[in-house]
Amino acid sequence: MQKSLLLPVVIVLFAAAPCAAQEQSSGTVALSTLKRDRAFGRQLIQEMEEHSMAERKAESEFMSTLSGKSTESRAKAMAKFKKKQAAEKKKFRRQMHEKMADYQAKKHKESVSNMRAKLAENKQMTEDEKATYMARMETRYKSGKEYNNKLFEEKEKLLDALDKPNLDEAQEAALRKEYDVKTRVLQEEYQKKSAEEEEEFRKKALAE
């Protein structure tokens, strides 16, 4: 399986998990959510494996069509095939990313609904405190979604750059190093922003 396909999905699958876990007050619910996450992850991996197998089959079938062609004709056919294959890979990666985003959105919606029901039964918290808590959930979700989208786009930029012809090992290594730096910065920014949001929430909660 291609790491370029698997890595973004794994990151997206678990990047927002801490937020979801903190929004669940029942151990049974949390366990159920974890099992569902794992099942969904296995489904995505299976889809990626099937896509990879289909790619290899298409490549094998294409190679068989080159027999008897001139060197120039083979080169043109190869260039056309690689361009088509790269576009299909890019489309598939985005489909996987969007599928994961939809899954996370559905989970968030369920978490919000469950929390609203629990807060409605809470007689100790004021309405302002409840509203603040719900706003906190929404902020966490949006921050996680934004972070995941940025990671995905940086990965796409790297893969686009690596698809360019005639790259030597040094150039490829430089591109990967640049990607590592960018994603590390994104992670640090996300962690800093999350900490600031938590501190703001804490101050607001104390004020209420």
- The rounded distance, in Å, linking the Cα atoms of 40 and 101 is 12
Tell me the pTM. Answer: 0.81
- 32-63: per-residue pLDDT in tens? 888 899 999 999 999 999 999 999 999 999 99
- C-alpha 208/C-alpha 200 separation (Å) is 12
Q: pLDDT truncated to tens, each residue of the chain (208 aa)? A: 444 444 444 444 444 444 444 444 455 557 788 889 999 999 999 999 999 999 999 999 999 999 999 999 999 999 999 999 999 999 999 999 999 999 999 999 999 999 999 999 999 999 999 999 999 999 999 999 999 999 999 999 999 999 888 899 999 999 999 999 999 999 999 999 999 999 988 888 777 6
Q: For residues 76 and 74, what is the distance between their CA atoms, to the nearest angstrom?
A: 5
Question: How many beta carbons lie within 10 A of that of residue 61, not counting itself?
Answer: 9
Residue 198, token pair as written in the block? 């938590």
CB 115 within 8 Å of CB 133: yes
